[in-house]
Homo-oligomer: A and B are copies of this chain.
Amino acid sequence: MAAVLDQDGITAAALELVSKKGYDGLTMAALARSLGVAPSALYNHVSSKDEVLKLVEEDLMSKVDFGGFRTLPWEEAVRQWAYSYRGIFARHTPLISVIAVLPVTDAPQTLAMYEAVTEGFLRAGFPEKQIIPSIVALEAYIFGAAFDANAPADIFDSGRLADSTPHFTSAVRSLGPDQNNYPSDLAFSMGLDALITGLGALRVDQSG
């Protein structure tokens, strides 16, 4: 029969659906409808909805910018990579629990990213043994920050319990004229700087 469907098409349709309706709107039925096909037809090309999520994840990984590791100083490369990584997955947080536990074995785009990042760390003078833990630590931070990026502005509103949390409430108010001012971007920048400084100290050769 004429192949109306393939994994690339499914991936593209899933991405478009997610961007329009969010992850709640990503159902097998909706996905099939957007492809003009019956839901059961999808199962000739993917084994489950989980596989659809993996396909989407791999596609997103290919969009993460790790090019700086070839051209920029290590600190700048990490920063560029981290911002790009967080920016992409902030809009795809439901995938994070999938990625964080997903073996890279069948994820070529993810592997390509790790290879480039590892090379960058080597060039920057990191001892081989420190590289994977450093990347893991950075990724943990990036994933956590991606969640944060979706928090509502009033997430730290202590409400009627403000009286019993005076120091916290005051610290929140100190952030800006708005009573509730969620500092997701500022926090990301601060923590990233701290990580870059702290991890950078592990380098043996600081010339990279």
Contacts and interface: CB of A to CB of B under 8 A. Distances in A.
Nearest to A105: B159
Interface in A116-130: 118-119, 121-122, 128-130
A164 B121 CA distance: 17
Contact of A140 (B119, B161, B187, B196): B187
Interface stretch (A28-36, A41-49, A58-66, A168-176): A168-176
B130 A190 contact: yes
A204 interface: no
A184 B96 CA distance: 16
A147 B100 contact: yes
Interface string A193-208: 1111111011000000
Given A96-B147, A129-B175, A199-B190, A167 B104 contact: no
Size band of the interface chain A makes with B? 35 or more
A148 interface: yes
A94 interface: yes
Interface of A: 93-94, 96-97, 100-106, 108, 111-112, 114-115, 118-119, 121-122, 128-134, 136-145, 147-148, 150-152, 154-159, 161, 164-168, 170-172, 174-175, 183-184, 186-188, 190-191, 193-199, 201-202
Given A133-B186, A136-B191, 8 more contacts: A100-B144, A100-B147, A129-B171, A129-B175, A132-B183, A144-B145, A194-B195, A194-B197
